[in-house]
Structure 1
Amino acid sequence: MAITDDATSATTKTTTLTTPAKLYGKDLSEYDDVDVESLLAQLSPEEITILAKEVDPDDNFLPPDQRNSYECTKEATGPLNRKQLIEHINKQAIETPDQPEFEPFVQGKVRGKKWVPPPRDARDIEAEEQIAIDMGEEYEHALNDATQEEIIDLAAILGFHSMMNQDQYHASLLNKGQPVGLGWDGITKSTQQKLFPMDPPNNTDVEESIKRVKDDDSKLIDLNLNNIKNISDEKLEQLFAALPQNEHLEVLSLTNVGLTDKTALLLAAAIEKSKTLRVLNVETNFISPPVIVKLVQALLKCHTIEEFRASNQRSAVLGNKIEMEITDLVEKNSSLLRLGLHLEFNDARHRVAAHLQRNIDRIRVKRLNQRK
């Protein structure tokens, strides 16, 4: 009897079944229609508390004290006092004993893996050797024979902290083993100042100088009336009235002579007609900022003045408006090379300096062309 085995020709198929998620023996889909509010209403407060400890509601709108399971049973002690809180934390930290070490400390015993610095590159070592400072045999011999106190004192004077090791540095800070008057707290004697004699008084005869200006003396090129405080306004008016007719005076210095706005306006009118004046100095007087603007404006008509100084006047600060007016006038002046005025604002200083440099460069180029 022949038996045919069909199992050898059968095809085996593998089927993957997905088991639905279940909770307490039921599918999760069966809980969709359950009224959660009615179930919570049936629970007692103790059961709700137990449920809240096991479930953390993922709701950002709930405060943290209602989301976590920790409940503080202590009564409130009042508002937050940061100082008392920090003192309490420090007290708890001091009173809490340290955790005992499992292995006692032994001096000289290395615990764990000792750090070994990596080998340095030979090129770095050669570079350091090339820039090493050769102090010479005399200085090296002196430093080798110097005592610790002498090295500390020398480092304190020169500020070379690298000359000392750590023990010497801390000893210098505490002045250990140092004589009185040495070390960081020592008193350093200052260099004796040089005594310079006082400037001699200006003995220039004002009346004679005014007469020479009126007579157009060819030898009177530089007139210095600085620090002569007894010049009256009438004499200054006579001097300024004679300036337009003079054709030889080049330098006029009127520092600290008591110039006021009244006499300064006369000076402004005089320098407009001057033909040879190159340097005008009216520093340290009582000229107001608007009159200084008048003087700078007068320089536009006098094409010979190359240097004008008027700092240290009655008003220490000119102000933004006055400085901008002076800057605009200076930028229109093609002959002015130096200006002695304290300008507070950076814009005015930069513009004035740039324009004066352009005037200097233009005159230099003109001179070079004339030589060729």
Structure 2
Amino acid sequence: MTDSAEFLKLTGQKSEDVPDIDLDNIDELLAQLTQEELDELNGDFDPDNSFLPPSERMRSQTTKDPTGPFSRKKLLAFLEKKAKDEKDWENIKQYVKKAPEKTWKAKEVPKTQEEKDIDTEWDDILTQATEDELVDLAAVLGFHGMLNQTQFYASENNEKLESGGFAGLAKAEQLKVAPFEPPNTTDVEQSIRLIKDNDSSLKHLNLNNIKNISYERLEAVCDGLKTNTQLETLEMASVAMTDRVAKRLSEALKENKTLTSLNIESNFVTGELIVEILKSINVNKTVTEFRATNQKPEALGNKVETKIIKLVQENDKMMKLGLAFEFPETRVKVTEKLQSNYDQVRKKRVSDKGEA
């Protein structure tokens, strides 16, 4: 088979459309072409051919000489100026808003024989009823899903619907503004003195939400717990406590034997220091309620939660533990241990009553 026949077979063209080409003399044919014809032939390639390098798939078509170095700022300014100078397209026909010649009307579907048989005298009555009457009827029959709250309660109380029937919108209930809680007026300096003096009148100290308490004052409260034997409840939620103060608190809990409830929620104590506090609580096991949720960072992590499980299981006196756990295993095991501690207290109480 000749070269021309092979070319025809591959391309599927007819013999009269393709001249007879002798591929052996391709060099002589190329030598007869002009420079423009060679450039045109050289640019005829398949841009989707993955065997060609990217530089060969899209060759530079720029024939002009560069006028200077590339400047993005100048290029954008040129394009913006050119866009502003170009004339807008001329509107062939001005848009004029017109009303539709025909109004849309729903197609009436003829009733089947079964639907005609179902029609009763009540159909005419319901057709002539007003929306308010339909709302009342729906409320009496208990069709609550067809009514909003405003319509339902208005029907029960025989009130007039302001917004009207089934098309009416339910109005939101008026917001009841709750008064702000009064600020915490606890005297921090006096509280520190009472703790250090071991005053018997100080059983419950509430420092929650007191702003701008210095670290030195918080540390003084913690240091006073070492020798105090009267304080039973200490609340220090949202006082900007950090690990520095929490470290002093954990050291004080190792010596204190009267504190039963501790609250350090909404502070900046990390998980490692919470573990240290639980270790200190386990020394004397007098603290039965410990709350430390809503810390920043809030996530404790698997390593910390594993330590907490071990510490809680070692404490038979802990009754309440306020911590947000990430893993279900921690929640289950901690809950089971606290419930077991409750059961032991209940059994002891029942046995004491029986002996009495």
TM-score norm. by structure 2 comes to 0.56
* C-alpha separation in 2, matches of 1:159 and 1:322: 58
Match of 1:241 in 2: 223
Match of 2:203 in 1: 221
Q: Does 1:264 align with 2:252?
A: no
* C-alpha separation in 2, matches of 1:336 and 1:218: 25
Query: CA separation of 1:226/1:158 partners in 2, compared to 1, >3 Å: closer, same or farther?
Result: farther
Match of 2:299 in 1: 317
Partners of 1:155 and 1:163 within 8 A in 2: no
Range moving further from structure 2, 213-222 or 293-302: 293-302
Match of 1:21 in 2: none
Deviation at 1:153, TM superposition (A): 3.1
Match of 2:345 in 1: 363
* C-alpha separation in 2, matches of 1:297 and 1:248: 22
Range moving further from structure 2, 286-295 or 212-221: 286-295
Deviation at 1:186, TM superposition (A): 2.8
Query: CA separation of 1:206/1:163 partners in 2, compared to 1, >3 Å: closer, same or farther?
Result: closer
* Identity of matched residues, %: 40
Match of 2:81 in 1: none
1:1-372 pair list within 5 angstroms: 108=113, 147=129, 149-150=131-132, 152-154=134-136, 160-161=142-143, 181-183=163-165, 185-371=167-353, 372=355
Deviation at 1:184, TM superposition (A): 5.2
Deviations 1:68-106 (A, max 9, x none): xxxxxxxxxxxxxxxxxxxxxxxxxxxxxxxxxxxxx99
Query: CA separation of 1:156/1:330 partners in 2, compared to 1, >3 Å: closer, same or farther?
Result: farther
Alignment root-mean-square deviation, CA: 3.2
* C-alpha separation in 2, matches of 1:259 and 1:190: 41
* C-alpha separation in 1, matches of 2:138 and 2:241: 53
Query: CA separation of 1:244/1:316 partners in 2, compared to 1, >3 Å: closer, same or farther?
Result: same
Match of 1:136 in 2: none
Match of 1:92 in 2: none
Query: CA separation of 1:162/1:262 partners in 2, compared to 1, >3 Å: closer, same or farther?
Result: closer
Query: CA separation of 1:189/1:246 partners in 2, compared to 1, >3 Å: closer, same or farther?
Result: same
Q: Which amino acid aligns with 2:283?
A: K
Match of 1:169 in 2: none
- 2:183 is paired with a residue whose SS is coil
Match of 1:118 in 2: none
Partners of 1:250 and 1:278 within 8 A in 2: yes
- 1:286 is paired with a residue whose SS is coil
Deviations 1:171-228 (A, max 9, x none): xxxxxxxx98345553212222333221111111111100000111111000001111
Deviation at 1:296, TM superposition (A): 1.7
Query: CA separation of 1:109/1:318 partners in 2, compared to 1, >3 Å: closer, same or farther?
Result: closer
* C-alpha separation in 2, matches of 1:211 and 1:315: 33
* C-alpha separation in 2, matches of 1:267 and 1:199: 28
Deviation at 1:158, TM superposition (A): 9.7
Deviations 1:118-147 (A, max 9, x none): xxxxxxxxxxxxxxxxxxxxxxxxxx9x95
Q: Which amino acid aligns with 1:274?
A: N
* C-alpha separation in 2, matches of 1:342 and 1:327: 13
Q: Say how many residue pairs are matched.
A: 221
Structure 1 outlier segments of 4+, above 6 Å: 155-159
- 1:229 is paired with a residue whose SS is coil
Q: Which amino acid aligns with 1:280?
A: L
Partners of 1:153 and 1:182 within 8 A in 2: no
Deviations 1:238-284 (A, max 9, x none): 21111021111000000111110011011011112111101000001
Partners of 1:275 and 1:304 within 8 A in 2: yes
Unaligned runs of 5+ in 2: 1-109, 116-125, 147-160
Partners of 2:272 and 2:304 within 8 A in 1: yes
* C-alpha separation in 2, matches of 1:252 and 1:317: 24
- 2:222 is paired with a residue whose SS is helix
* C-alpha separation in 2, matches of 1:227 and 1:109: 72
Query: CA separation of 1:235/1:148 partners in 2, compared to 1, >3 Å: closer, same or farther?
Result: same
- 1:299 is paired with a residue whose SS is helix
Task: Report the structure number with the largest CA radius of gyration.
Answer: 1
TM-score norm. by structure 1 comes to 0.54
